[in-house]
A = this chain, B = another copy of it.
């Protein structure tokens, strides 16, 4: 890609409808996307290349991290991104390549030292903020800087800054109540991992002292350790000046990992498309992330998921009015209402440009299964977008 990509005036849009892929509730029925009334997506599909993407590997349900890395063209098996890194980037922390990030849960420990509530009674956001400030003011570790940032309710993120840290650490979260918190253990035999485990355990010990008189949030659980994966940026790989429009911290974090500039999003789906219009002249690649489809799928709410898809459909004419040169509309994975979870199923992909081989009358899983892109790895979507936007030189003589 790096060898072939050229800078041009053409503009690309990658519209990610989170958890777009679905299943029929009964085998003879229609999927969420098929059941939704989507006149604009259907008309676009009839002028587009279609296919089904496979996010990570056969049968493997991806998290949002690997799902998006694949869409951005990175090999999700090669680039592992810890939950802590996504949280740190999501709250806007300028994570350096030597920083070690971890997710923090405020939790409740009983008198016997057992975890009695892994979420500290879901303390309100204001309380969480207050506790993060308390920790930031009082927590000092020898030879290492610690930054604590609040996320939401009982959730926060810690960043450890120092030389020779490693993300090869297991969580302290015992996953069940009534158990002791686990000491943080290295998951590989290296000096860096051992040193990092010592630092993480000292951090938990010191936090326990500071939170001693608090209730219910009198301890912290740490999990999702990781370092910045040092992905090559969109600018390096594709020569693209990329912008991201996303309303959730994790997706902002993923976009920042790829070197995208975050645009200030408006309210709801319509607001995100408004942001796209406002920023249209300033970038040549736009990642726009729509979240509520996934949430509806996770809730098992087929109708609500279909209705969010209809809300996206209503924005398609406005998107096309901007005159993008190449557009992909897809998801990061399937979230079938039937399964109430992410799944491994094929994700519908629509790629539109003037250079397409249309195969169907509408947009849906089964139309995509017979499309001219076939069933293909999600990692290839960026290559197709670059080709359709005429941003790749010919390969070889």
Contact = CB atoms under 8 A, between A and B. Distances in A.
Contacts of A67: 396
A384 B59 contact: yes
A383 B224 contact: no
B374 A344 contact: no
Contacts of A24: 357-358
Interface stretch (A278-286, A287-295, A311-319, A334-342): A334-342
B372 A66 contact: no
Contact of A59 (B23, B63, B358, B392): B392
A355 B57 CA distance: 17
Given A23-B355, A80-B396, A370 B373 contact: no
Copies in the complex: 2
A52 B369 contact: no
Shortest Cβ-Cβ A-B pairs, 6 listed: A374-B375, A59-B387, A58-B383, A58-B380, A59-B383, A63-B396
Contacts of A371: 369
A12 to B, nearest CB: 11
A363 to B, nearest CB: 14
A118 to B, nearest CB: 17
A374 B385 contact: no
A248 B86 CA distance: 53
Contact of A56 (B82, B354, B369, B395): B395
B346 A395 contact: no
A47 B26 CA distance: 9
Main SS at interface, chain A: loop
A338 B355 CA distance: 8
A167 interface: no
B359 A369 contact: yes
Contacts of A52: 372, 374
A345 B355 contact: yes
A63 B4 CA distance: 12
B59 A388 contact: yes
Contacts of A392: 59-61, 344
A125 to B, nearest CB: 21
Contacts of A359: 366, 369-370
A30 B341 CA distance: 40
Given A23-B355, A355-B336, A374-B52, A63 B395 contact: yes
B372 A366 contact: yes
A4 B77 CA distance: 13
Nearest to A224: B397
Given A369-B357, A369-B371, A387 B338 contact: no
